[in-house]
């Protein structure tokens, strides 16, 4: 109505920056409507506030469940300023235009993430009024500015100052899109929680959610557009929570390979280094310290390691940085829980490639054997497949169920190498064969259509190092030829799931060759 102040409605759970934002709105002559704790916070800061209940003439009720669900609120948000009939109806019912809405929602996701939270506590954190208001405002973005992210406050005020008190249309539309992204993710969290506390089984729907973390120059190939999205709440120790400390921007393939290296080293509590090339580990090792682990990992296949991605499961320190920067080594990326500042300087100012090498800090990676965050999702045409991450439900029980099936038991050192080979093999593309010696990978066979071809490849890579090595296979040997090929190369012991119709033939071949062989009873395919 003519002569009336513009109205802004502010009601936020996350009060970060809201006082400063409200002060900025006052500069443009806004009258502030608010509720509950937000109204108190603004009033205590000396900002003139009118309670929504005073404005609507209807009190908050049902323990705050009903406070903004009122025609004077939603009518003020939704009526079209360019339609005479809408303006007339608003005037008839005493509905003022609400020109700006600043709302963020109850912390449902944070609540359900707390240990021991009850369903009753979770349900009380399902926001009703907040999503309703911001959706109304977003629908009418032609006339209403809606802000749901405190990180946008500064830019919105700057654009209002530049535009005479109104952000440009393209900004209002962008902010409206952000609303529907926020409410979509919010509803998906609620849906997942309620289905999760139900009777179990596969949920009737599955929601992929992510916030844009980085646009990429291109995807796997230059003609493919690509971007990197982080899942909401991605925890420490994941690529979603990573920070780029130094080097060029990450590429699509850098992110994939860094994640692959990270998933190998997170398997182990001892210092571990892994070098990945084209999404497969070409070198991996354990050591008394991380420098020893790196030296052994790089020596596993120096040719393939050139231009690869290095992952470690401990802080990347200056001594390791000097090792990495020495000689003719070249690494595209290094991913670690943390980097010492001196180590960053050594890499960035060291070898010619150092200033471009991506140094990726992910934070603590948790206890050994923990799977990657969330579900494993693989896209297929017209849909996607969803499965649990590949982690045996009880790691100790997995080891306890190992069974020697040959006449010869593995020696103590062979047991150590077999276990290491088994955990690395689960991260190699099937058919996966990994040869290990002294807890270091010396040969890998990956992605072959025939398992015996993978054995040939791994033995060729290992060369003389195959003698006395231990072999890990992600799935059973359908024929004894894989065991025979490994034995001919000097492999001393093997670990595999078992379960083939020709297990007896494979066992007999191992016995003839003097090999020890262990069955695990589970497999680790990785397509």
Assess contact for 194 and 228: CB atoms under 8 A. Answer: no
Q: Which of 6, 15, 50, 278 is catalytic?
A: 278
The total of other beta-carbon atoms located within 10 Å of residue 195's CB is 16
Count of alpha carbons within 13 angstroms of residue 403, beta-carbon side: 10
What whole-number distance in Å separates Cα of residue 417 and Cα of residue 386? Answer: 32
The three-class DSSP label of residue 164 is: coil
| Residue 499: both structure tokens together | 């379960």
| Active-site entry in 6, 15, 86, 139 | 139
Nearest to 403 by CA among 495, 480, 329, 313: 495
**Residue 276 host element (H or E):** strand 272-277
278 given a catalytic annotation: yes
Residue 225 phi/psi, 5° resolution? -75, 150
Q: Read off the DSSP letter of residue 115.
A: T
Q: Which of 39, 30, 89 is nearest to 68 (CA)?
A: 39
169-196 helix and 129-139 helix, angle to the nearest 10 degrees: 150
List strand residue ranges (DSSP E) for 401-512, in order: 403-404, 433-436, 441-445, 470-473, 493-496
Query: Which is nearest to 8 in space by CA: 147, 132, 130, 102?
Result: 102
* Cα dihedral 289/294/295/300 (nearest 10): 130
Is 50 among the catalytic positions? no
> Nearest-CA neighbor of 55 among 30, 77, 72, 36?
72
> Residue 15 burial (CB < 10 Å; 0-12/13-18/19+)?
middle
* Dist CA 36 CA 12 (whole Å): 10
User: Which residues form the catalytic set?
Assistant: 139, 278
């Amino acid at each position: 109505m003519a002569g009336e102040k513009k109205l802004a409605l502010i009601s936020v759970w996350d009060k970060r920056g809201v006082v400063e934002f409200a002060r900025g709105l006052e500069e443009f002559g806004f009258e502030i409507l608010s509720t509950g704790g937000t109204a108190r916070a603004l009033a205590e800061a000396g900002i003139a506030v009118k309670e929504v209940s005073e404005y609507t003439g209807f009190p908050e009720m049902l323990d705050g469940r009903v406070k903004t669900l009122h025609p004077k609120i939603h009518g003020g948000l939704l009526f079209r300023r360019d339609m005479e009939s809408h303006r007339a109806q608003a005037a008839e019912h005493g509905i003022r235009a609400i020109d700006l809405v600043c709302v963020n929602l109850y912390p449902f996701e944070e609540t359900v993430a707390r240990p021991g939270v009850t369903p009753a506590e979770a349900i009380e954190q399902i926001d009703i009024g907040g999503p309703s208001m911001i959706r109304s405002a977003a629908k009418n973005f032609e006339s209403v500015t809606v802000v749901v992210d405190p990180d946008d406050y500064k830019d919105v005020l700057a654009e209002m100052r530049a535009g005479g008190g109104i952000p440009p249309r393209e900004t209002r539309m962008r902010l409206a899109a952000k609303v529907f992204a926020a409410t979509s993710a919010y509803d998906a969290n609620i849906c997942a929680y309620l289905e999760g506390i139900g009777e179990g089984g596969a949920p009737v729907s599955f929601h992929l959610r992510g916030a844009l973390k980085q646009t990429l120059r291109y995807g796997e190939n230059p003609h493919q557009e690509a971007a990197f999205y982080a899942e909401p709440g991605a925890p420490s120790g994941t690529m979603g929570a990573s920070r780029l400390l130094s080097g060029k921007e990450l590429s699509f393939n850098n992110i994939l390979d860094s994640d692959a290296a990270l998933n190998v080293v997170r398997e182990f509590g001892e210092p571990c280094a892994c070098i990945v090339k084209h999404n497969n580990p070409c070198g991996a090792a354990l050591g008394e310290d991380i420098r020893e682990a790196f030296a052994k990992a790089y020596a596993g296949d120096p040719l393939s390691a050139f231009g690869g991605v290095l992952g470690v499961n401990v802080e990347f320190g200056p001594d390791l940085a000097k090792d990495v920067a020495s000689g003719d080594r070249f690494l595209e990326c290094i991913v670690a829980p943390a980097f010492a500042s001196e180590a960053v300087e050594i890499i960035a100012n060291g070898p010619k490639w150092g200033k471009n090498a991506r140094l990726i800090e992910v934070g603590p990676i948790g206890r050994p054997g923990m799977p990657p965050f969330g579900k494993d999702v693989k896209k297929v045409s017209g849909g996607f497949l969803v499965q649990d991450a590949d982690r045996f439900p009880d790691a100790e029980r997995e080891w306890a169920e190992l069974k020697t099936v040959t006449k010869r038991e593995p020696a103590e050192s062979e047991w150590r190498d077999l276990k290491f080979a088994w955990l690395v093999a689960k991260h190699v593309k099937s058919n996966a064969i990994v040869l290990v010696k002294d807890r270091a990978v010396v040969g890998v066979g990956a992605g072959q259509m025939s398992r015996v071809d993978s054995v040939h490849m791994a033995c060729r890579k290992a060369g003389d190092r195959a003698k006395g090595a231990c072999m890990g296979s992600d799935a059973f040997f359908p024929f004894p030829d894989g065991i025979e090929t490994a034995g001919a190369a000097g492999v001393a012991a093997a670990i595999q799931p078992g379960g083939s119709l020709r297990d007896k033939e494979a066992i007999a071949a191992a016995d003839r060759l003097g090999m020890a062989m262990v069955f695990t009873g589970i497999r680790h395919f990785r397509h």
